[in-house]
Amino acid sequence: MSVIKHYLNKEKTKYNWRAVVYIPTGEYDRFGKPIKQHKHVGYYSTKSEGEAAIREFWKEFEAGTLELNKNATFNDVIKYFLEYAKNEGNYAEGTICNYEGYLKNHLQMFKYVPVQNITPALIQKWRRDLHTNSVSDHIFNGCIKLAKAAFNYAIELKQINTNPFKNITSVTIQPKLRNRFSTIELKRVIDTCEQQFPEYYCLFILATLTGARLGEYSAIRPCDIRVDSSKIYINKQITRGKEKNRTKKDASTRTVDISSKVLEIIQWHIETYNIGNADLMFRADKGGLMYAKWIERKFEKLLEACGYDKKFCRVHDLRGQYVDILHLCGVPTSYISRQVGHSNSYITERAYTQILKELSTEANNLMDEKIFGD
């Protein structure tokens, strides 16, 4: 951008100030340099007025009131969608935070590009740049998810008429092989936890033997537990240090069946730590809400106490451990899906494919133990 003299006569004795800016188009010349569009802002009597006009121009340009079709830029579409997501779209705070991170860190190439200029070639170049910068496929998929949602929303409101990301497919991410405990190993870990980390014991049992998510069992109160029917009501969660009166998804609001032993451990925890009926069962240091890092650090210490590397598995993998145990016991997948809060059995099978592949080994060992054991 610049403010330059504009002479009004040949003698160059009279002049005013011309303000111009150069807007990125998202296109590139044969040398790979970005092509910019020249934009005339106006003429002003002083240089300072011209500079002020340019600042105001960029302020309005950044705010970007969404216009129809060719006037709308990528930034207009995304910002409009994010405003909707924050105020009306019922999107989780964590999801919005992720979307804002994608926009800030990985989608700047498109920022001022008009919708009509977002071509497959430009998207392909952006994808190559992500790969060159070692950006993960998970981040790429998140960016595509944001772009598709934002452009579909703008189309729904009839503010644009095309979605350049419509046919861009997400990358299939191969599931990572996660370590899990055998039933014998798990018993040893549980015993070690009870002896060395009693304040963590109940929480670890809930993580391993209920299939609840970290944010869900962190938010449990004694009033959520039905002693007469051995059930726990899951209807809220703690996420990013805040208690939410809702779960991750509608299907996640559920009733979880628990065994008599799990119920016994819960009651022991309530009595030992003098927890009131309306209190949270777990509190972080200084009485604050339970946070994921504390749980993860305790779990790492437990792993090390049992002779495992602290990265042997994650706290979240205990949810898969629970699915593993129920499958080993011959429980139908449809029931397991309801227990862990999946909307259907296919999600459970897809999420824990690796577990299902390896169940045969321990199932055969269990069969040998029952038939040939002492």
Say what the pLDDT of residue 90 is: 73
Contact of 328 with 366, CB cutoff 8 Å: yes
Q: Where are the domains of the chain?
A: 2-63, 69-156, 183-372
Question: What is the rounded distance in angstroms from the CA atom of residue 280 to the CA atom of residue 258?
Answer: 19
Give domain 183-372's CATH number out of 1.10.287.130, 3.90.1170.10, 1.10.443.10, 3.80.10.10.
1.10.443.10
| pLDDT, position 49 | 86
Structure confidence at residue 50 (pLDDT): 82
Q: Which residue has the tokens 């944010």?
A: 215
Q: What percent of the chain has pLDDT over 70?
A: 85
Beta strands in 98-235 (DSSP E): 225-226, 231-234
Torsion region of 293: left, alpha or beta (phi above 0 gives left; psi -120 to 50 gives alpha): alpha
69-156, superfamily in CATH? Tyrosine recombinase, N-terminal domain (1.10.150.130)
pLDDT at res. 67: 42
- pLDDT < 50 regions, the chain: 64-69
Quote the CA–CA distance of 102 and 165 in Å, as a whole number: 15
Q: What is the pLDDT of residue 242?
A: 80
